[in-house]
Amino acid sequence: MNVVAISAPGGPMVLKPERRAVPQPGPGEILIRVHAAGVNRPDVMQRKGAYPPPKGASDLPGLEVAGEVAALGEGAARWTVGDRVCALTPGGGYAEYVSVHASNALPLPAGFTYTEAAALPETYFTVWHNVFERGALASGEVLLVHGGTSGIGTTAIQLASARGATVIATAGSAEKCEACLKLGATRAVNYREEDFVAVVKEATDGKGANVILDMVGGSYVDRNLSAAAVEGRIVQIATQGGAVASADVSRIMVKRLTYTGSTLRPRTAEFKGALAAALESQVWPLLASRRVAPVMDMIFPLNDAWRAHERMEEGTHIGKIVLDVG
């Protein structure tokens, strides 16, 4: 099969086409003939040598795919060969075939193309767990989401709005702020020109945000504590602005805040399977009706994965970048 591998840690051009043997599905797994694969920030980190795959996972990048079931491992009873699925993978998505645990796959939502479906698993699994499970966002509450036009951000805005929450999003340009508003945010903050803490306080009559989804870290940590409401929940999912921060932690006590976070890739297949079941029940109907949908930025051929990584690192994309595998 054709794959794109990381030839050595480095820039986008280290992503090189290779030929490899087709993997075989193990017990409880399915083999997927990949038609499209999502591109995510962890792929970029892995390419740079900063995010090694979990033990036993493929060394190829790629955490989400869409395609057809090509073969079944022992015990993978739900699926049949030819089923159209999308799936969360621990790696290996930049390839024509990938094996995944059967419980980590979901049927393509009605009417979705493979490229659209490949844009779903990584962001929807992440947002569902961190915003609605760890963050316990409820209807009528306020969500502050940083990086509003990222794949995670566009998903969080739509899902939170569809489930009755008010959303405030941060982004780095007027164009990106406008995109956040079109997706359902009631207020978009250009962080290059405005103080998001002040805007959140103004928009909530001084109460603050009930849930904050942050992928920045660094200087945002202390500011998030200021922007949070009493009994607020702050969920950290990345540290693009730095993993070390100085903060007035007394605000955690005074406001009775919960500061939590998670990473998805190292979690067990069983844990991810439980998330898949929740998504199929709670979110897949919203996708089928197009109440929510992936925001598509650009689609590149598999062999041009380096261009997709360049696009992501430029920071101007809005929504998801996807590889067309064929």
In this predicted model, what pLDDT tens digit does every residue of 114-154 receive, in sequence order?
999 999 999 999 999 999 999 999 999 999 999 999 999 99
In this structure, what DSSP letter does residue 109 have? P
Segments of the chain assigned to CATH 3.90.180.10: 2-120+265-324
**Predicted TM-score of the model (pTM):** 0.96
85's enclosing H/E stretch is strand 84-88
Class of domain 124-261: alpha beta
Element (H, E) at 299: strand 296-301
Average pLDDT, the chain: 97
Residue 311 phi/psi, 5-degree rounding, is: -60, -45
User: Which residues of the chain, if any, have pLDDT below 50?
Assistant: none
Third-level CATH fold of 2-120+265-324: Quinone Oxidoreductase; Chain A, domain 1 (3.90.180)
Domain(s) of CATH 3.40.50.720: residues in the chain:
124-261
Q: What is the pLDDT of residue 90?
A: 95
- Supply the DSSP symbol for 210: E
Q: What is the pLDDT of residues 176-218, one digit of tens each?
A: 999 999 999 999 999 999 999 999 999 999 999 999 999 999 9
Q: Residue 288 has which token pair?
A: 């089928």
Question: Residue 228 gets which letter from DSSP?
Answer: E
The pLDDT of residue 13: 98
pLDDT of amino acid 94: 98
CA distance 56 to 58: 7
Distance from C-alpha of 116 to C-alpha of 111, rounded to nearest angstrom: 10
User: Distance between CA atoms of 299 and 39, rounded to whole angstroms?
Assistant: 10
Look at residue 322 in the predicted model and tell me its pLDDT. Answer: 98
Burial (0-12, 13-18, 19+ Cβ within 10 Å), 253: exposed
